[in-house]
């Protein structure tokens, strides 16, 4: 399968083609939303966290059922984007990147199988390529539904989004994105990426361990470091409170996606998902 941006083969009950579908899939949960590109508003959003981590095939079944229940296939789409969220990725400097050696870049960071299909996302502005393992069965399912579409890794979307933020050019900023049982940690200094990694976490203790260890390795003082939390976190919850006990300059980051009019029930839409629109 090759990455594309548009699809044009879906039989549909409506006559319009101005909706965009953004989908995020992971073994801990899935979400999707539909954007009306003319009215610049979300007409549908959905998110589900799984009680237990699923295998990729059960994930595909959950996505199929959610599409059916939410009426996703009643729309035509001018664009479909899928985001793969997992820990199976590795960042490679573009100067060293060779698409003929994808497995060599990732095999020391993640457990991969000989049958795994590997993909990569060039990240403009950072001179980095993200090599990763997508959920191939989910991609195949989406291709059967929509034809050609675009897909990326969640880390790619996060880094591209952080790079565009004005705060990334203001000193050193640490961003932590929390969703389901995973945290993504990025550090930018003057629009330059100093660090990015993702971790599986099960508690606030895990969260603080990875955060403080990263700051220590980068020579950053928690007492003076700017920390911006985003995703499934808000002021007053345990993750915010434990971070505030170590880091003085901490706040919850308001996602750029808030510019889209959304209902109260949609307010918790994932930061990565909304920034892929």
DSSP the chain: ----S-------SSS---EEEEEEEETTEEEEEEEETTTTEEEEEEEEE-SSPPPHHHHHHHHHHHHHHHTGGGS-EEEEEEEE-SS-EEEEEGGG--GGGHHHHHTTTS---TT---EEEEETTTTEEEEE---HHHHHHHHHHHSS-EEEEHHHHHHHHHHHSGGGGSSEEEEEEEETTEEEEEEEETTEEEEEEEEE-SSHHHHHHHHHHHHHHTT--TTT-EEEEEES--TTSHHHHHHHTT-SEEEEPPPGGGGS---GGGTT--HHHHTT-
The distance in angstroms from the start CA to the end CA of the chain is 22
Q: Which residue's structure tokens are 């920390």? A: 227
Output the pLDDT for position 104: 94
Supply the angle between the helices 136-146 and 56-70 in degrees, to the nearest 10. Answer: 30
**How many of the other CB atoms lie within 10 Å of CB of 202?**
8
pLDDT band with cut points at 50, 70 and 90 for residue 271? confident
pLDDT band with cut points at 50, 70 and 90 for residue 7? very low
Q: Hey, is 115 helix, strand or coil?
A: coil
Task: Give the closest residue to 270 by CA, choosing from 28, 22, 25, 31.
Answer: 31
pTM value > 0.85 = yes
The beta strand positions in 62-109, using DSSP E, are 77-84, 89-93
Output the pLDDT for position 11: 42
Contact 41, 187 (CB under 8 A): no
Output the pLDDT for position 78: 94
Of residues 122 and 40, the one with the higher pLDDT is: 122
Q: Which residues on neighbouring strands pair with residue 149, listed in sequence order?
A: none
Q: What is the CA radius of gyration of the chain?
A: 19
Distance of CA 29 to the CA centre of its chain: 12
**Burial readout 66-78 (b: 16 or more C-beta within 10 A, e: otherwise):** bbeeeebeebbbb
Task: Give the closest residue to 87 by CA, choosing from 189, 162, 185, 234.
Answer: 185
pLDDT in tens, 201-210: 999 999 999 9
Segment 235-261 shows an average pLDDT of 81
In whole angstroms, what is the distance from residue 7 CA to residue 24 CA? 18
Q: Which residues on neighbouring strands pair with residue 214, listed in sequence order?
A: none
Output the pLDDT for position 8: 41
pLDDT in tens, 65-87: 999 999 999 999 999 999 999 99
Q: Hey, is 212 helix, strand or coil?
A: helix
pLDDT band with cut points at 50, 70 and 90 for residue 269? low
Tokens of residue 10, six digits? 């879906």
- Could you tell me the domains of the chain? 164-254 (3.30.420.260)
């Amino acid at each position: 399968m090759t990455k594309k941006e548009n699809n044009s083969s879906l039989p549909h009950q409506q006559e319009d083609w101005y909706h965009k579908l953004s989908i995020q899939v992971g073994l801990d949960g899935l979400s999707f939303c539909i954007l009306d590109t003319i009215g610049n508003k979300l007409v549908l959003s959905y998110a589900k966290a799984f009680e237990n981590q699923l295998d990729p095939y059960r994930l595909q079944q959950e996505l199929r059922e959610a599409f059916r229940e939410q009426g996703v296939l009643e729309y035509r789409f001018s664009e479909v984007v899928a985001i793969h969220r997992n820990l199976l990725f590795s960042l490679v400097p573009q100067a060293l990147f060779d698409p003929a050696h994808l497995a060599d870049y990732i095999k020391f960071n993640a457990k991969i199988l000989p049958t795994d299909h590997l993909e990569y996302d060039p990240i403009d502005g950072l001179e980095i390529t993200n090599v990763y393992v997508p959920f191939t069965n989910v991609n195949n399912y989406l291709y059967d539904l929509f034809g050609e579409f675009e897909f990326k890794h969640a880390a790619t979307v996060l880094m591209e989004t952080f790079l565009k933020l004005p705060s990334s050019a203001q000193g050193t900023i640490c961003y932590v994105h929390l969703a389901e049982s995973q945290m993504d940690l990025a550090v930018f200094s003057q629009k330059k990426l100093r660090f990015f990694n993702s971790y599986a976490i099960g508690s606030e203790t895990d969260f603080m361990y990875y955060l403080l260890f990263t700051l220590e390795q980068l020579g950053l003082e928690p007492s003076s470091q700017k920390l911006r939390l985003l995703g499934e976190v808000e002021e007053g919850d345990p993750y915010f409170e434990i971070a505030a006990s170590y880091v003085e300059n901490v706040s919850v980051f308001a996602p750029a996606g808030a510019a889209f009019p959304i209902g109260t029930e949609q307010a918790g839409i994932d930061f990565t998902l909304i920034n892929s629109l």
